[in-house]
């Protein structure tokens, strides 16, 4: 007795429902990724200044793009920049160093001046042109 089935079982697989699920997951991840905030550096911006700074004298220091240092318009050598800056600085709370740098000046030279100022307790205003 040979029994035959009336309906044949199909071995084909329909991918239409799978593509719907993939597109729904894609939309879900695109929406949730826009809600995530990237890790950024938080900068503390100063609020309204309550203390006014009185400046009697600016000590002009300049760093050129070629790596030359000038203190009050006089060229100072690389090895004598610290002694020249400290010698020209007046030990007064109302004297501030105005550090002018060229836009293409080396950051190493600018950092060197800032390190000298911090070591000797000198206040600095940075002016990049």
Contact 107, 114 (CB under 8 A): no
Instruction: With respect to residue 115, please indicate whether it lies within any of the assigned structural domains.
Output: yes
d(CA 128, CA 49): 23
pTM of the complete model: 0.54
pLDDT for the residue 14? 79
Residue 90 lies in a domain: yes
Q: How many CB atoms lie within 10 A of CB 103?
A: 7
CATH (domain of 98): 3.30.420.270
Residue 1 lies in a domain: no
Report if residue 49 sits inside a domain: no
Q: Which domain holds residue 66?
A: 57-128
Give the total number of structural domains in the chain. 1
pLDDT score for 53? 62
Residue 21: what pLDDT? 93
Q: Is residue 15 part of a domain?
A: no
Give the residue ranges of the chain where pLDDT is below 70.
1-2, 36-41, 43, 46, 49-56, 90-94
Q: Could you report the per-residue pLDDT of 98-110, keeping only the tens digit for each?
A: 888 888 888 888 8
Let me know if residue 72 belongs to a domain: yes
Inside any domain, residue 32:
no
What pLDDT does 9 receive?
Answer: 76
Residues 6+ apart with CB under 8 A from 119: none
pLDDT for res 20:
92
* Position 27 in a domain: no
């Amino acid at each position: 007795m040979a029994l035959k089935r009336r309906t044949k079982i199909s071995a084909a697989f329909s991918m239409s429902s799978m593509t719907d699920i993939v597109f729904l997951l894609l939309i879900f991840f695109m929406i949730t990724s826009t809600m995530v905030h990237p890790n950024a550096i938080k900068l503390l911006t100063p609020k309204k200044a309550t203390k006014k700074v009185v400046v009697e004298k600016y000590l002009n220091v300049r760093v050129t793009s070629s790596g030359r240092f000038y203190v009050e318009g006089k060229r100072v050598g690389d090895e004598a920049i610290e002694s020249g800056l400290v010698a020209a600085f007046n030990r007064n709370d109302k004297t501030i160093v105005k550090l002018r740098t060229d836009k293409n000046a080396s950051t190493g030279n600018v950092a060197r001046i800032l390190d000298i100022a911090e070591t000797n307790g000198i206040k600095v205003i940075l002016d990049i042109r």
